[in-house]
Amino acid sequence: MMKTESIYKHILEPSGNGRKYHPCPHCGAYKFTYYIDRDTGKPLADYVGRCERINSCGYHYPPREYFRNLNSKNKIEMKEEQLAKEITSVVKEERVNRRYPKSVDYVKNALFCFLVTVFGKQKVLATFQKYDVRTSTLFRKDSKYGAAFLMRAIDLLIRQVKEMAYDSKTGKRIKEGQSVFLLDYNTRSYQLRDGSFSIYLAGKSLMKDYDFKNKLCFFGEHLLAGEVSKPIAIVESEKTAIICDICMPDYIWLATGGKNGCKWTTEEVYQVLKDANQPITLFPDLNATEDWIAKAEKLLAAGLDVSIYDLEEQEGITEEDKAKGLDIGDYLIRYWKENHPEDGEKIEEVKCQKANIPQLSKMLSSLSSKKEPNMIEELGIPIDPKEVDGLLPNKSSGSVSGVDLSVISDIE
């Protein structure tokens, strides 16, 4: 038995009920009938239907073809969307080296200078090189520059570069209410700004790519490349990871880069922890313990071996410390200053020496001082400068001896 049009969900709009013909997508004549949804009475699309000029035009676009093409289009769009998600923006190594050259002496790096006063130059230098910390000239304060943290993933590719401004005297990040000089790359000059802008993600600027996908990874993630033989420890800030690596090198220290940071509780990011197959200890900042416990539970549910170090339960933690939101790095600095004061060094900046050439100095000192002349001499005849002024044209009159200067100015 043949199926009739009436049993289908989508049918040609029936005659009557004020039906109007529409312009045909093929011939343009107002002889086009839409396919409509029987339940709603609405057309599928303005090109899905049949031209009634069957012999002269013959255009016919049935619903089955519409849905077949629609499914194909959706599949293509879904595939393109999936590919877009899989593509990760990478900052090219050569561009990073050009803006943050390794040759720049760390003596100009504010964070480096402070940490040296606590731990000594050799320890800090070794850790800066281990994590590939660079110097950022974007920020300047007290003749010192900021720090550039490279977010280098486990495949050793750079996902992002994070520039931060620090105070070389306190080691603290410069925040709102403090002043810092900010470099204008167009004029190559520094402008005094409020410290509210003291963190900058440079990937888009470095790659000159407005579509740069800011997909972060753990700071220090490149240390997980290859076989991992140490337990893993995770803190929030990059500076804290560096301090902990100096003081407790038996762990591989990673940083999330902020409270939510690199979205480290998503499978895409924590997979590197899973692959490392090592126990993981979380070290939240004060007042962030409950939030990190919730994050730890997500990792536990994913099958990771996770524990948390509750800093708030430790002795010696004051209410003032909690109000400041201190972290494990702050206490390690305090401990090191009290128990290893001999490690701290003061960086002596290399300054250019003044040359002393006695023979040349003697020759220059023998020269008589040159007197400023009060008279202008022309052909050996002394002339008073005031007389010279009298010979020059009077700007207000616009003429010299009856000559119109405006006429002269028009002559090329």
**Cα 334 to the center of its chain, rounded Å:** 31
Buried b (16+ CB within 10 A) or exposed e, 340-363: eeebebebeeeeeeeeeeeeeeee
* pLDDT in the model for residue 138: 93
pLDDT, tens digit (0-9, with 9 covering 90-100), for 62-71: 988 888 888 8
Instruction: Report CA-CA distances (Å) from 393 to 57, 383, 388, 402, 404.
Output: 90, 18, 11, 11, 11
**Cα 292 to the center of its chain, rounded Å:** 25
> Which tokens go with 290?
């409950």
Torsion of CA 317, 322, 328, 332, to 10 degrees: -60
The Cα 308–Cα 283 span in angstroms is: 6
Long-range contacts of 19-28 (CB under 8 A, 24+ apart): 21/52, 22/46, 22/49, 24/51, 24/53, 24/57, 24/59, 25/59, 25/61, 26/51, 26/57, 26/59, 27/51, 27/53, 27/56, 27/57, 27/59
* pLDDT in the model for residue 86: 53
The Cα 409–Cα 175 span in angstroms is: 58
* pLDDT in the model for residue 383: 52
CA angle, residues 131, 136, 139, in degrees to nearest 5:
135
Contact by Cβ (8 Å): 230, 189: no
114: CB partners within 8 A, 6+ apart: 166, 167, 168, 169, 170, 171
Contact by Cβ (8 Å): 52, 73: no
Helix, strand and coil percent figures for the chain, each rounded to 5: 35, 20, 45
Judge if pTM exceeds 0.85: no
What is the separation, in whole angstroms, between the first and last Cα of the chain?
101
pLDDT means per 10 residues, the chain with 412 residues, are: 53 78 87 88 89 88 87 67 60 93 88 96 96 95 94 94 94 89 88 85 85 83 93 97 97 91 88 95 92 92 94 87 91 95 82 82 80 49 54 47 38 34
Strand partners, 194: 179
At which residue do the structure tokens 């409020």 appear? 194
At which residue do the structure tokens 């240390």 appear? 223
> Which tokens go with 333?
């600095």
Helices 238-247 and 328-339: crossing angle in degrees, nearest 10, is 40
Long-range contacts of 255-263 (CB under 8 A, 24+ apart): 255/218, 255/219, 255/220, 256/218, 256/219, 257/149, 257/151, 257/162, 257/216, 257/218, 257/219, 259/288, 259/291, 261/216, 261/236, 262/151, 262/216, 262/217, 262/218, 262/219, 263/216
> Which tokens go with 23?
């312009």
